[in-house]
Homo-oligomer: A and B are copies of this chain.
Amino acid sequence: MAKVVVLHSGGLDSTVLLAQMVAMHGSDQVESLGVHYGQVHAKEMESALEVCGILDVRRTMVVMSMAHDFFGDCALTGRDSSAIPDGHYSDDTMRSTVVPFRNTILLALCAARATAIKAEVIAMAVHAGDHAIYPDCRPEFLSAMDRVLMCGDYKPLLLDAPFLNYTKAQIVEVGVKCRAPMGFTWSCYKGGHVHCGTCGTCVERREAFIKAGVADPTEYFQTPPIPLRP
């Protein structure tokens, strides 16, 4: 048993991770950390709060304010959500959703909070599907961050990324096993009232439930056939 701070966006992956950590360590040993960095899909923050209520986990937030172009022309944090591309998550166009050094920022804040509450572990739900598109989801990056966490404060912190080599379908399977409230999670990058069903993360989400053979609890605006991966 350990005390753990989980990077928790309110999305599918990090909610399954939170539920798994609660199953392993108990809800009083787990804290959910949310970071708002200007993402237009702020709806996941509401989902995160609901999930924390269901799992009886303490939620902590950091809200960052900066100029809308602080992260460059990233579609995730820009003012024009119509710029969010449709199609497969691994498509080249999805590069526009890269927030530079996002995971470095998130892990740094998570490490700070973990040190403050004397937690030994920080956990993040990075998974295999992310590697291709996001440099800061690759094993090399995590091992580099590991070194920072070993020497960045008086006590070393452990970085747990149990889904690093999982597909999203495998994460859904873990979610079923640890009774994660997957129906309350939010993935869509477009920030509508229901999941759009066509943006990169929606397509990936739909596909994951199908591949896992698990009924998808999500309400989608539309569910056109999922395009074959290029």
Known: A100-B153, A105-B108. A70 touches B113 (CB 8 A): yes
**Per-residue contact bits, chain A 36-66, to B (CB 8 Å; 1 contact, 0 not):** 0000000000000000000000001111111
**A70 to B150 CA separation, bound complex (whole angstroms):** 21
Q: Interface segment, A140-148, A193-201, A206-214? A: A140-148
Q: Which residues of chain B are within 8 angstroms of A116 by Cβ–Cβ distance?
A: 69-72, 74, 100
| Chain B CB within 8 A of A228 CB | no
A55 to chain B minimum Cβ distance, whole angstroms, is 20
Chain A residues numbered 110-124 whose CB sits less than 8 Å from any CB in chain B: 111-113, 115-117
| Chain B CB within 8 A of A162 CB | no
CB nearest neighbor in B for A140: B151
- A112 near B117: Cβ-Cβ < 8 Å: no
A188 to chain B minimum Cβ distance, whole angstroms, is 24
- A100 near B111: Cβ-Cβ < 8 Å: yes
| Chain B CB within 8 A of A86 CB | no
| Chain B CB within 8 A of A138 CB | yes
- A72 near B117: Cβ-Cβ < 8 Å: yes
- A70 near B66: Cβ-Cβ < 8 Å: no
| Chain B CB within 8 A of A192 CB | no
- A62 near B60: Cβ-Cβ < 8 Å: no
- A64 near B67: Cβ-Cβ < 8 Å: no
| Chain B CB within 8 A of A101 CB | yes
CB nearest neighbor in B for A99: B112
Known: A60-B70, A135-B154, A136-B153. A101 touches B108 (CB 8 A): yes
Chain A residues numbered 65-102 whose CB sits less than 8 Å from any CB in chain B: 65-67, 69-72, 74, 98-102
| Chain B CB within 8 A of A152 CB | yes
A22 to chain B minimum Cβ distance, whole angstroms, is 22
- A151 near B147: Cβ-Cβ < 8 Å: no
8 Å CB contact of A64 from B62, B104, B145, B152: B62
Known: A69-B116, A99-B112, A153-B136. A148 touches B64 (CB 8 A): no
Q: Can you list 12 A-B contacts with CB-CB less than 8 angstroms, sorted by A residue number?
A: A61-B66, A61-B67, A63-B64, A64-B64, A65-B65, A72-B115, A101-B115, A104-B107, A104-B111, A104-B112, A105-B105, A140-B151
